[in-house]
Structure 1
Amino acid sequence: MLNDIKPKEAVAVINSLSSGVVPKIGVQHIAVGRSAEVDAFLKALEDVKNGHSLVKFWIGDFGSGKSFMLHLLNTVALKQKFVVANADFTPEKRLYASDGKALALYTAIMDNVAIQTKPEGGALAALLEKWIEQTIQKTAEEHNIPLSNIHQADNLPLVRKKIMQTINALTDVGGFDFGLALSKYYEGYILDDEQLRKNALRWLKGEYRSKLESRQDLGVREIINDANYYDMLKNFCKLFVSIGYSGFMINLDEAINLYKISTGVMREKNYEKILSIYNDCFQGKVSNLLINIAGTREFLENERRGLFSYQALKTRLESNQFETAGVRDFSQPVLKLMPLSHTEIFVLLQNLKQIFDFNYKTNIDVTALDIQLFMEDMFNKPGAKEFLTPREVIRGFLNMLSIMRQNPGLDKRRFIGDLEVKNEDPDVSLVDIDEL
């Protein structure tokens, strides 16, 4: 039994999976078949805690569970006291651009910053206030000012100076403007000026598009843009570690959208940015940063449009030559996700049945044999071998449970024969599921 699941997690799991998306919380209760990957990831987190930085590529065919894996990694990292953030590549969000598309990716990352007490995101303000309180306390200690008095407006210049000193010691590129924006956030925090605090947060999240507007609102002459956003991410990483967090983990999903960039020069510039980040991390130029990128095999291996079209990346990301399907190397930068076996899907559906019953406070009459029959019916339908994905199986199973819950008098056997297998993405080759 899943005795430790929380009601909020159960709602998220059932509602999200029924809608065909991965839940932001509770994924640990439906994690099956990924223990080796998680163990390797825990070792990677230890390295990052110790000051190293890593880039990991999670590669799999459509429906192999890449997005699920990233959400599972979030849960693991949050428990290890990491700050985590998630964003998807889209046609409007990429790593390199000159028209605001890289900045849009940065803003999405900062919007989704999460910590263990705020796992659903939106934790940036809480982190800033925690850092400011620590800075205030250090200032009070250095100047022998009682904590009850340090928050007074008269002491604002002392704290502002301490903020700038601390930021200058922490940061490299863009540190002055970064520190100035933090000082303005502090002023709004102390003076109860909500608008000033909002403006400072806007600057830190990259939401200013005009230097003039930034200067008028905050007195900060520069803004975060396509060219410097990565430096700001590194600054935030150092800031989070200075607070006491283990590091900063950024998950970037849907990398197929980089593969789909129509202009070869722009696509290459994005791959060049990946190479730059990769080199930064593995050469020790940045500390306590972990970046996960999820994409399809085409995104990685296609030598005309994928990462392998960029020779410098190909030489770094080619798989261990001694690796086989049965002998895996989980320490390398690229981790290829294998499709779930039928046994693993069976266990997953059993777990979902328990979560469904817990969520709706019911006990649907579906046995282990019924689940086996449901799976056999799904896998034996025409087109299943080419088109069936775990997402399709999960949605079909939850839809069946939903109908049975609302219509308890119906014969459960009638639903098994009514299921239809559809190709979720006709442009992508889907998972080939093993036979039972």
Structure 2
Amino acid sequence: MIENIKPKETTAIINSLVGGVVPKIGVQHITVGRSDEINAVISALEDVKNGHSIVKFWIGDFGSGKSFMLHLLNTVALKQKFVVANADFTPENRLYSNDGKALALYSVIMDNIAIQTKPEGGALPALLEKWIEKSIINTAEENKISLVEIRDKRYHNLIQNNIVKTINEITEVGGFDLGTVIMKYYKGYIDGDEPLRRNALKWLKGEYHTKTEARQDLGVREIINDLNYYDMLKNFCKLFVSMGYSGFMINLDEMINLYKISTAVMREKNYEKILTIYNDCFQGKIANLFFNFAGTKEVLENLRRGLFSYDALKTRLMTNKFETAEMRDYAQPVIRLLALNHNEIF
């Protein structure tokens, strides 16, 4: 059966291939030789839907299809009703820093949030407004008020109380300020106050750099920073699941830029953050979260600069010693992307 390709996807695929990059949409139409990997991902997504959290490391040489695989994961997850975000590590963003580079990574992740109806990213406002509408409907039903009448200003406090209650139930560290800012977003949304709505979105995306400015604009004491951004990602994961989504997938490419960090202490701190994420996911400390990292074999195995230079990660990421090219183990955290064979290419 031939699947019809939308004109928008056709254009994106051709333009991307001509430019030598992976297309952001329609990548499923040009997938060859990765059926086992795709089936493994579909199985993992089912586990995440059921409340588990997973971390995968996609390892391969340059040109082996790591970025392609992450884009494919993105497409599959969106169809499974996941919220998905993609980001690349660069010299200017990383998992741990004390100079704003971790916050920069967070901001890229939040900018690139995608859902099936908005696969190109930028879906955070749509998600917030969907959740607010859901809260309005729930408040109306609980208080036996019509959906038209509930939008009257005299019922705003009822809706606000419902929103605060829900956020308090699903969030942990940073939950109070998150709730306050979402309330500001709600107020801007309901009242048509675009500057207030924009300021709330700015806070949620980690774009405030001083507490003073955030306090003046929104009345909150804290801002998202290098130290607390990961807690905020976990809060958003819970928020997305409360909206009815299957989970939150975060895809992080170009791990070579962590490997290239010149300071050994800073590089180790970034690997320590990966360990924290790994432990949180596999020890059940967070539900419905799926992290994917992509890097080269050297990034994984180099004993001086790679992930294996950090002993706690090395013990967790060692490949199944019984695995062969014919007998693959896709359940393990590290999945090595092998080159396509002659039949798959031709």
Provide the residue aligned with 1:353 in structure 2. none
Provide the residue aligned with 1:65 in structure 2. 65
Output the CA distance in 1 between the equivalents of 2:224 and 2:48. Answer: 26
Q: Give the percent of matched residue pairs that are identical in Structure 1 and Structure 2.
A: 74
Alpha-carbon deviation of 1:132?
A: 0.5
Output the CA distance in 2 between the equivalents of 1:2 and 1:207. Answer: 45
Provide the residue aligned with 2:147 in structure 1. 147
Provide the residue aligned with 1:78 in structure 2. 78
Provide the residue aligned with 1:190 in structure 2. 190
Mapping for residues 156-175 of structure 1, pairs under 5 Å: 156-175=156-175
Output the CA distance in 1 between the equivalents of 2:151 and 2:16. Answer: 44
Letter in 2 for 1:294: A
- For the residue of structure 1 that corresponds to 2:57, the secondary structure is strand
Provide the residue aligned with 1:411 in structure 2. none
Output the CA distance in 2 between the equivalents of 1:212 and 1:339. Answer: 53
Instruction: Say if 1:53 and 1:282, in contact at 8 Å, map to a contact too.
Output: yes
Mapping for residues 299-318 of structure 1, pairs under 5 Å: 299-318=299-318
Provide the residue aligned with 1:219 in structure 2. 219
- How many correspondences in the alignment? 346
Instruction: Say if 1:88 and 1:252, in contact at 8 Å, map to a contact too.
Output: yes
Which moves more between the two structures, 299-308 or 150-159? 150-159
Provide the residue aligned with 1:38 in structure 2. 38
- Once the two structures are superposed, residues 373-401 of structure 1 have per-residue CA deviations (whole angstroms, 9 ceiling, x without a partner) of xxxxxxxxxxxxxxxxxxxxxxxxxxxxx
Output the CA distance in 1 between the equivalents of 2:82 and 2:185. Answer: 23
- For the residue of structure 2 that corresponds to 1:85, the secondary structure is strand
Say yes or no: does 1:100 pair with 2:100.
Answer: yes
Alpha-carbon deviation of 1:107?
A: 0.4
TM (normalized to structure 1)? 0.78
- Once the two structures are superposed, residues 325-352 of structure 1 have per-residue CA deviations (whole angstroms, 9 ceiling, x without a partner) of 2111000000000012232222xxxxxx
- For the residue of structure 1 that corresponds to 2:148, the secondary structure is helix
Output the CA distance in 2 between the equivalents of 1:216 and 1:145. Answer: 35
Instruction: Say if 1:153 and 1:190, in contact at 8 Å, map to a contact too.
Output: no
Alpha-carbon deviation of 1:175?
A: 0.4
Mapping for residues 220-259 of structure 1, pairs under 5 Å: 220-259=220-259
Alpha-carbon deviation of 1:158?
A: 1.7
Structure 2: any 5+ residue segments left out of the alignment?
A: none
Provide the residue aligned with 2:343 in structure 1. 343
Provide the residue aligned with 1:127 in structure 2. 127
Output the CA distance in 2 between the equivalents of 1:208 and 1:39. Answer: 41
Provide the residue aligned with 1:276 in structure 2. 276
Alpha-carbon deviation of 1:20?
A: 1.1
Output the CA distance in 2 between the equivalents of 1:212 and 1:344. Answer: 58
- For the residue of structure 1 that corresponds to 2:84, the secondary structure is strand
Provide the residue aligned with 2:138 in structure 1. 138
- Once the two structures are superposed, residues 264-290 of structure 1 have per-residue CA deviations (whole angstroms, 9 ceiling, x without a partner) of 000000000000000000000000000
Instruction: Say if 1:153 and 1:191, in contact at 8 Å, map to a contact too.
Output: no
Output the CA distance in 2 between the equivalents of 1:200 and 1:288. Answer: 25
- For the residue of structure 1 that corresponds to 2:188, the secondary structure is helix
- Once the two structures are superposed, residues 188-220 of structure 1 have per-residue CA deviations (whole angstroms, 9 ceiling, x without a partner) of 000001111111011101011111111111111
Instruction: Say if 1:300 and 1:308, in contact at 8 Å, map to a contact too.
Output: yes
Instruction: Say if 1:54 and 1:289, in contact at 8 Å, map to a contact too.
Output: yes
Output the CA distance in 1 between the equivalents of 2:243 and 2:108. Answer: 22
Output the CA distance in 2 between the equivalents of 1:181 and 1:313. Answer: 36
Instruction: Say if 1:60 and 1:296, in contact at 8 Å, map to a contact too.
Output: yes
Provide the residue aligned with 1:50 in structure 2. 50
Alpha-carbon deviation of 1:154?
A: 2.2
RMSD between superposed Cα atoms in Å: 0.9
Output the CA distance in 2 between the equivalents of 1:143 and 1:228. Answer: 36
Provide the residue aligned with 1:181 in structure 2. 181
**Considering only CA atoms, is the larger Rg found in Structure 1 or Structure 2?**
1
Output the CA distance in 1 between the equivalents of 2:90 and 2:140. Answer: 46
Alpha-carbon deviation of 1:2?
A: 4.6
Which moves more between the two structures, 134-143 or 248-257? 134-143
Output the CA distance in 2 between the equivalents of 1:224 and 1:87. Answer: 18
Output the CA distance in 2 between the equivalents of 1:3 and 1:103. Answer: 41
Output the CA distance in 1 between the equivalents of 2:274 and 2:32. Answer: 30
Alpha-carbon deviation of 1:150?
A: 1.3
Mapping for residues 339-418 of structure 1, pairs under 5 Å: 339-346=339-346
Alpha-carbon deviation of 1:36?
A: 0.3
Letter in 2 for 1:332: Q
Letter in 1 for 2:190: I
